[in-house]
Every structure is written in C-alpha cells, then in structure tokens.
Structure 1
Amino acid sequence: MPDLNEAAEEVHERVHSINPFMNRDEYPQRSLVAYKLCTAASWLLVVATSIYYDFEKPHEGKHHRDTIWGQNRRRHTPFALNSAITSVYWIVLFVLQVGYCWHLYASNSTYVHAAANVGSHFILHNLLLFGFIHLWVRSHFWLAEMLLIINFANLSAAYFRHSKTPRFIHIPVVSGPLAWNFVALYWCGAAAVNAHNLVARIFANIAIWGILGYGMFFLVAFKDYTMGFELSILAASLGVAQFLTHVFAL
C-alpha cells in the first residue's frame, strides 16, 4: 500500500507546478517563452482596445453605447475623471510596461526572475482590463465593477507577495495599475448607481478621503511613495473634473 503522505506530497507538488501564480526559484525555458508571448499579446490587446474605444463607440449591444470618455461625460458623477490627466497617466504606464516586457528578455537573471514572478498577475490584469473596457463602453457598469473587484484582488495579491520587486517592474505592473484600479472602483461604482443627487455627493465627499487613507497605508506599511504619487495624480484628475464641472455650470 503506497504511503499516503508521499502520495499527498506528490499531488501537492504537481498542483503547485501548474499554478501560474506560484513563486519559483527558477523558471524553465518553456515557461519564460510562454510569459513572453502571453505578456506581449495581452498588452497589445489592451492598448489596441483602449485606443479604439477612446475614439469609437461600439456598434452592438442593447444598452447605451459610447466611447470610454463619452461614458464618463454621460455619467458625470462625483467620481468622474478628467480625460486628459487620466489618459496621460495611462500613456506613461503603457510606455513603462514596454520596459517591463523587455526585462523578460534581459541577460540579468535577477531581472528575468523578478519579471516572471509578477507575469501571471500582469497577464490576468490585462485580460480583466480588456473585459472591463468592453463592459464600460456598453453600459454594463455592474459587471464592469465586478471585474474591477476581481482585478483589485489580483493586483493586491501581486503587491503583497512581491512588494520588494525592483521599482522599474513594480511601478508599471503592480503599483500603477493597482492605484488606478482603486480609483476606478469609485468611478465605475458611482456610474453604476448613477450618483447625481445630494445624498450621493455628500457620500462622495466622505468616501474621497479613502484615497488619502489608502495611499497613507502603503507609505507607512511599505515605505512605498509610488502609490502615494500615483494616487495623487488620479485624485488630481478627479478634482479637476469636478472643478471644471462647477466652472462651466456657472
């Protein structure tokens, strides 16, 4: 009769061997090739989708359809964002992500290992963001919010498991997307409930402090200034959007 402990250990090892989110001391060549292909493909998918729906609205679907920023204007809630600031934020992030992809090809094994460790989280983030954009522009706000919640869990896991990743990998893959995802939870959630009344605005004035608290948490707990800097840019985007709304309303 085989030893049950040995059998259980073998099953455990096999499960971990196929777990894409498992930390490994080294990666076989076939795994690195898979990361290179999937990372590039998922990144190109998100970039192409973002650019397309920045300028074009979907032509199918039963609900109201609009561009990314057209939806932002139509559902101008207390958490609506400034399109210029947020677009620049994402352009910089996309450019920095090219640098991350390059590190999968680096000759320095330390950089390759660090990039591969967060590779599965980055690929999943891209796929979830791709789905979010399609749902957002088609006014499926509750489903879009659900994908943001899943992505928030994914990126939070990446952060807490790999908080010491080199900054040139950490910023474009972990902290930058996580900061945006946190603010997007407010953005999409407010659009889902179509928050325009006085009660919603009072709640928004209270909830907005959550962005400050979230940034302070990472600064105190992890000494990570990057989250604070990224959240401050997105908070500025939110503030400018609300300011311009009141100026043009006068």
Structure 2
Amino acid sequence: MAETSSQQAYNYKITTIGSLILSIYFSFQFILDYSKLSSEISTTPFSNFFIFIFIYWIFYYLVQIVYIQTCLSDDVDSSGTSILSITNSVISFNLTNVVWVILFKNRWYLLSEILVIIQLFVILNNYLINKVYSFKPLKNYLIINLTVGSLPLSWIFMTLFWNGSLMIHSKGLAARILANCFIWDFLIIGWVFLFWFNDYTIGLSLSYLVLGLALNQLFTKLFALQWIFAFVISGILFASSIVTMTLKPELKESIVVEEEPLLAN
C-alpha cells in the first residue's frame, strides 16, 4: 500500500510540475504580447494594474512550487484528507489557465468568459468539498489554501469581471455606471469568505487585486467613481481581514494534518 501511495505521489508530482511549467510558459507569452493588447484590455472598468497582476502570479507560482515540494513528497502516510485529490484542482487550474491565455490573447472573450465561469465552479466546489480553508497548523493552512483556494479564487473573481467587461465592450457611460455598482461585489464576496469561513487569505488577496484595480482606474479615468470605490473596498477588505486574523484565528471545522508527510492514501 505504501509503494502504491508513493507511486501515486510521484505521478501527481510529475503531472503537477508539467502543468505548472505549461502555465508559466503561456503566462510568459502573454507578458510578451501584453503591449499589443494593452490599449484594449487595460482600459475597461475592471482592468487591473499590470505590475500588480505580474507580482500576483509570480507569488502564486512560488507558492505552488512550495506546495509541490512540501505536500507531494514521496513518503505517503494516512490522514483524514487526501492531498492527492486536492492536487487535481491545482493541475486543472494550471491547464485551464493555459487555455484561457490562448483564448484571451486571440480576443475570443465569450469563450474565455465561459471558461472562467467553469473554473469558478470547479475551484469553489473543491474549496467546499475538501474544506481547504480549514487545515491546520498554520503552515499547512497557508500552503494548501493559498495554492488551491484563495489565490486561484481571488484571481477568478477578478477575471470574471475583467473578461466580462471586454466581452460586452463596456466603455460607454452606461457601462461605467453599472461597473460602479458591480465593483461592490468584491466587498460582498470577501465578506462572505471572511465571516463564513474565517478565510482571511481571500480577504487579503482580494484587497490586493482591488487595490491594483483602483490604481489602474485612477490613471485611466481620473474623473470617475470607479477608482474611489475600489480604494474604499480594498481598505475595508484589508481591515476586515486583519480583524478576522486577530480576533477569529480559529479555522472553521479544523482539519488537523500531520507536519510530515501531508499526503493521504
């Protein structure tokens, strides 16, 4: 049984590394082509500051590398939750990100929006079923939840609106007014995860992305409400996340996973 589990861990490790390399490669290609697309994709009401996106993905890839090294070890033991099962979500997110980049670069915004919606349901389903928000101790919570839960989810929520605004060509006054309303969804989404799951990592990652949105909107359209609302939402999410982290550090339905190894059969 141990040999089988060890082989499974090795196979998952190789597959995850392969999907990570593909995702990094296509993300790099997107960066190279960004200048050709920037005049279109950086001027919607939900466009983000490019440097914020770049830093976000660099951080996510580094976290994923730590996840691969820490969680997908060759030594496998029994525990209450299967890291191998959770890793399917990592592989899926990497590969769908590759497809999204291809669709997005080619301006197939309807198809890329559909893919983002599918990503949302897959990641959210995995988040809820495997309770990736409830691992402890803190080291395991951060490694697993950042990789599988909060960072992918926050990005998908942001992309859902960004991609959607490109799909409907939202540059007119009516679209801007609607965007002023829809931007508050980020606050609602953040609060749901903060108060329902005590997941301050989603609150912080959403706060960061909304801050990037605020800065981009400030430079795109100075006389507008979008960047003002974005700064307010980012600040509230950040403060709420710090309060949750300080006053409610307990994880909902905590799942204790041994330090070494983290894998399950």
TM-score normalized with structure 2 length: 0.75
1:4-15 correspondence to structure 2 within 5 Å: none
Provide, for residues 212-241 of structure 1, a one-character-per-residue CA deviation record: whole Å limited to 9, x for no partner.
100100011101100000000110111110
- On the 8 A contact 2:9/2:84 being kept in 1, the answer is yes
Q: Considering only CA atoms, is the larger Rg found in Structure 1 or Structure 2?
A: 1
**Distance in 2 (alpha carbons) for counterparts of 1:236 and 1:201:** 18
CA shift digits 1:187-207 (9 cap, x unpaired) = 000011110001100100000
User: What does residue 57 of structure 2 align with?
Assistant: 90
In 2, the alpha carbon distance for the partners of 1:111 and 1:84 equals 40
* 1:82–1:241 contact (8 Å) kept in structure 2: yes
Residue 48 of structure 1, CA deviation: 1.1
101-110 or 168-177, larger mean C-alpha shift: 101-110
- State how far apart, in whole Å, the 1-side matches of 2:80 and 2:195 are: 29
Higher relative contact order by CA 8 Å / sep ≥ 6: 1 or 2? 2
Contact preservation (8 Å) 1:145, 1:185: yes
Q: Which runs of 5+ in 1 are unaligned?
A: 1-26, 58-66
* 8 Å CA contact retained: 2:6, 2:75: no
- State the match for 2:154 in structure 1: 179
* 1:79/1:186 contact within 8 Å kept: yes
2:89 corresponds to: 121
CA offset at residue 28 of structure 1?
Answer: 2.9
- Return the letter of the residue paired with 1:99: V
Q: Please tell me the root mean square deviation across aligned C-alpha atoms, in Å.
A: 2.4
Query: Quick check: 2:5–2:76 contact (8 Å CA) kept in 1?
Result: no
1:191 aligned to which of 149, 155, 166: 166
Distance 2:29 2:44 in 1: 24
Among residues 40, 45, 50, which one is paired with 2:17 in the alignment? 40
8 Å CA contact 1:80, 1:242 repeated in 2: yes
The match for 1:11 is none
Amino acid at match of 2:85: N
Q: How many residues align?
A: 213
Residue 105 of structure 1 and its aligned partner are, at CA, apart by 1.3
Contact 1:36 1:104 in 2 (8 A): yes
Unaligned 5+ residue runs, structure 2? 225-265
| % identical equivalent positions | 28
Report the Cα distance in structure 1 between the residues aligned to 2:153 and 2:98, rounded to whole angstroms: 15
Shift of 1:174: 1.6
In the other structure, the counterpart of 2:99 is: 131
Measure how far apart 1:139 and its partner are.
0.5
After superposition, give the CA deviation of every residue in 1:5-24 in whole Å (9 maximum; x if it has no partner): xxxxxxxxxxxxxxxxxxxx
Please state whether the residue corresponding to 1:118 is helix, strand or coil: helix
